[in-house]
Amino acid sequence: MSLDIDYYELLECERGADDATLKASYRKLAMKYHPDKNPGCGDSEARFKAINEAYDCLKDPQKRAAYDRFGKAAFQNGGGPGGGFGGGAEFGDIGDIFESIFGSAFGGGRQQQRGPARGADLRYDMEIRLEDAFAGCSREIQVDVAARCDACDGSGAKPGTATHRCTTCNGHGKVRAQQGFFMVERTCPHCQGSGEVITDPCGTCHGEGRVDRRKTLTVEIPPGVDEGTRIRLQGEGESGARGAAAGDLYIFLHMARHKLFEREGTTLFTRAPISFTTAALGGCITIPGLDGRKHDISIPAGIQSGKQLRQRGAGMPVLNGRGHGDLVVQIDVETPTRLNAKQKELLQAFRETETGEECPASQGFFGRLKEMWDDLTD
């Protein structure tokens, strides 16, 4: 008997039949036409196989949806199972069918872009000074890249000749093979995905369409960049094979250690040691800023070590924005270590006048120690 009978007709069911109806009808017909019950009957054996084929398809929701829409053509691939689309077959196979029904998840994830692959992106690490990050600057760099071959203008073919359509994939750059119910798509091994082959390669690039070359580039660094800032130079990466688009060059910035300032975002930090007399009496210190100006920092009388004083707007500029951060100066009170006789005499005279109220924190600490000792000895 012919195997071209409609699956629903084979199972003696309507197209809208539910799963239970399909299953019950299949069991009844499989028992009726089973070869054990019809020994030597070729028609019964053929119908039994056809019934099994129909049920295997319709019991699966995805296969059934494809069959309802396209019939048995949904399961044919270029005229037979296991074929690819190389050698003359077109794209209208099961991969396209399932992609149109269920989306790319059942279409094999095929990429629409064909041809030579885009060139690779490159990375370049650059160290700059904090002053350069503050004001912005221009830097020239040299990078070794695979650049477009001038001799063949990137085609890979010898000047005066042309490329030819790949006969393995018919110029698609991909070949497919059926594995069970799904299609597997791979890059064409003959043309490496380009869709074209070169019979007479360029003598300079040997068919690659690109050659190794050192390029000199100018990098514009904007004010406010920070550690890890990435600058993209579009199209300055490696050229793609056989005229494909070039990749990008990414400049990753690193900050050199500064002798005076540390940075956190747009805030600059520095430490300023001052004498204990300046700390006691107050005064003023001057900090040179990255902006080239001198910033006067007022020291209030009685300041303690670790106190931070903030100068608004004297920090780093905001990247791609307006304004600046702050400059934060941490005060370190320095105890003198080299006193002459006169200074020692004056300090001794000062100590003799101390009442303890000059240093309330010290007085309070030792007062608590005395109380603790008294409690232990009672």
Q: Which amino acid is at 154?
A: G
Ligand-binding site membership of 13 (annotated)? no
| N-terminal to C-terminal alpha carbon distance within the chain | 115
Ligand-binding site membership of 149 (annotated)? yes
Q: Identify the DSSP state of 27.
A: H
Please tell me the distance from the alpha carbon of residue 183 to that of residue 94, in angstroms, as a whole number: 7
Is residue 193 within 8 A of residue 169, CB to CB? The reply is: no
Ligand-binding site membership of 41 (annotated)? no
Please tell me the distance from the alpha carbon of residue 80 to that of residue 94, in angstroms, as a whole number: 11
E strands in the chain: 122-128, 137-148, 164-165, 174-179, 182-187, 196-197, 210-221, 230-233, 249-255, 262-264, 267-275, 283-288, 294-299, 308-311, 327-334
Q: Which amino acid is at 172?
A: H
Lookup: tokens for 262: 């540390």
Ligand-binding site membership of 284 (annotated)? no
Lookup: tokens for 125: 């690490």
Is residue 151 within 8 A of residue 56, CB to CB? The reply is: no
Question: The tokens 């660094």 sit on which residue?
Answer: 221
User: Is the CA virtual torsion 67, 69, 70, 75 positive or negative?
Assistant: negative
Lookup: tokens for 187: 């890059």
Please tell me the distance from the alpha carbon of residue 317 to that of residue 309, in angstroms, as a whole number: 19
3-state class of 346 per DSSP? Answer: helix
DSSP states of 242-273: GGPPP--EEEEEEEPPPSS-EEETTEEEEEEE
Residues of each annotated binding site: 149, 152, 166, 169, 188, 191, 202, 205
Binding residues for Zn(2+): 149, 152, 166, 169, 188, 191, 202, 205
